[in-house]
Chains A and B, each alone.
Chain A
Amino acid sequence: MKIVVCIKQVPDTAEVRINPETNTLIRDGVPSIINPYDLHAIEAGLHLKESLGGSVTVLTMGPPQAEGALREAVSIGADEAVLLTDRAFAGSDTLATAYTLSSAVRTMGFDIILCGKQAIDGDTAQVGPEMAEFLDIPHVAYVGKFEDISREGLRVRRLMEDGYDIVETPIPVLLTVVRELNQPRLPSLKGKMRAKKAEIKKLSLADIGADGERVGLAGSPTQVKNIFAPEARKDRKTLAGTPEEQAARLIEELRGLKCI
Chain B
Amino acid sequence: MNYFLTEEQQMLRDLTSQIAEEKIVPVRAELDEKEEFPHEIMKVLAQSDIFGIFIPEEYGGLGMGSFELCLAVEELSKACLGVSTTYAANALGTYPILLFGSEEQKRKYLPDIAAGKRLVAFALTEANAGSDAAGVQTTATKDGDHYILNGTKQWITNGGEADIYTVIAMTDRSKGPRGASAFIVEKGTPGFSFGKKEKKMGIRASVTSELIFDNCRIPRENLLGREGMGFIVAMKTLDQSRVGVGAQGLGVAQGAIDEAIKFAKQRVQFGKPIISFQAIQHMLADMATQVEASRALVYAVARHIDSGAKDFSKVSAMAKVFATDTAMRVTTDAVQVMGGSGYMREYPVEKMMRDAKILQIYEGTNQIQRNVIGQALIKEAAGRENDS
Contact = CB atoms under 8 A, between A and B. Distances in A.
A196 B62 CA distance: 16
B62 A192 contact: no
A192 B11 contact: yes
A198 to B, nearest CB: 14
A192 B15 contact: yes
B323 interface: no
B23 A188 contact: no
Interface string A84-107: 000000000000000000000000
Which 6 residue pairs across A and B have the least CB separation, nearest first? A189-B49, A188-B49, A188-B48, A192-B11, A190-B49, A186-B48
Interface string B23-37: 100000000000000
A189 B19 contact: no
Given A190-B62, A192-B15, A193-B8, A185 B53 contact: no
Interface in A168-194: 185-193
Nearest to A77: B47
Most buried by B among A185, A189, A193: A189
B18 interface: yes
27 contacts: A186-B15, A186-B18, A186-B19, A186-B22, A186-B44, A186-B47, A186-B48, A187-B18, A187-B48, A188-B15, A188-B47, A188-B48, A188-B49, A189-B11, A189-B12, A189-B48, A189-B50, A189-B52, A189-B53, A189-B62, A190-B62, A191-B49, A192-B11, A193-B8, A193-B11, A196-B7, A196-B11
Nearest to A192: B11
A191 B7 CA distance: 14
Nearest to B68: A189
Contacts of A189: 11-12, 15, 48-50, 52-53, 62
Give the interface size bracket for A toward B: 10 to 19
Interface of B: 7-8, 11-12, 15, 18-19, 22-23, 44, 47-50, 52-53, 62
Contacts, number: 35
A192 B53 CA distance: 13
A136 to B, nearest CB: 37
Given A186-B48, A189-B49, A196-B7, 20 more contacts: A185-B47, A186-B15, A186-B19, A186-B22, A186-B44, A186-B47, A187-B15, A187-B18, A189-B11, A189-B12, A189-B48, A189-B50, A189-B52, A189-B53, A189-B62, A190-B49, A192-B11, A192-B15, A193-B8, A196-B11
Nearest to B52: A189
Contacts of B47: 185-186, 188
Contacts of A187: 15, 18, 48
Contacts of A188: 15, 47-49
A190 B8 CA distance: 10
Contacts of A186: 15, 18-19, 22-23, 44, 47-48
B106 to A, nearest CB: 20
B44 to A, nearest CB: 6
B292 to A, nearest CB: 27
Nearest to B72: A189
A168 B44 CA distance: 32
B210 to A, nearest CB: 35
Nearest to B7: A196
A247 to B, nearest CB: 46
A189 B19 CA distance: 12
Contacts of B44: 185-186
Contacts of A190: 49, 62
Contacts of B22: 186
Nearest to A186: B48
Contacts of B53: 189
A187 B19 CA distance: 9
B258 to A, nearest CB: 19
Most buried by A among B23, B44, B47: B47
A4 to B, nearest CB: 23
A238 to B, nearest CB: 40
A253 B7 CA distance: 64
A186 B47 CA distance: 8
A185 to B, nearest CB: 6
A193 B15 CA distance: 11
B73 to A, nearest CB: 15
Contacts of A192: 11, 15
Most buried by A among B11, B50, B52, B62: B11
A44 to B, nearest CB: 16
Contacts of B48: 186-189
B68 to A, nearest CB: 10
A122 B50 CA distance: 36
Contacts of A196: 7, 11
Interface in A181-222: 185-193, 196
A190 B53 CA distance: 10
A223 to B, nearest CB: 40
A107 B11 CA distance: 35
A188 B49 CA distance: 6
Contacts of B12: 189
Contacts of B15: 186-189, 192
Contacts of B11: 189, 192-193, 196
A186 B19 CA distance: 8
Contacts of B52: 189
Contacts of A193: 8, 11
Interface string A113-132: 00000000000000000000
A190 B44 CA distance: 14
A185 B18 CA distance: 12
Contacts of B23: 186
Nearest to A189: B49
A165 B62 CA distance: 45
